[in-house]
Amino acid sequence: MKYLILIILFFGFVSGKEIQAQNLAWSKTINLSYQNYTEGVGTDTLGNVFVAGE
């Protein structure tokens, strides 16, 4: 399982280099969603409001 995650991260990095602008936009969206999630409340990429732990 650990290796699967590393492979996904590696390919994400490679595709980020190839399609940097698109990947940057996606990573900003994902990071913002994750930050909101870890802070307890926020919205995901679809705009759904959630509370951490659910």
* Residues sharing a CB contact under 8 Å with residue 46, sequence separation 6 or more, in sequence order: none
CA 36-49-31 angle, 5° bins: 30
Query: What would the pLDDT profile of 5-15 be if each residue is shown by its tens digit?
Result: 777 777 666 65
Question: Percentages helix, strand, coil for the chain, rounded to the nearest 5?
Answer: 65, 10, 20
Domain extent for 26: 3-53
Q: pTM of the entire structure? A: 0.25
- DSSP, collapsed to helix, strand or coil, labels residue 38 as helix
Q: How many domains does the chain have?
A: 1
Within 10 angstroms of residue 33's Cβ, the number of other Cβ atoms is 16
pLDDT band at 35 (very low <50, low <70, confident <90, very high): low
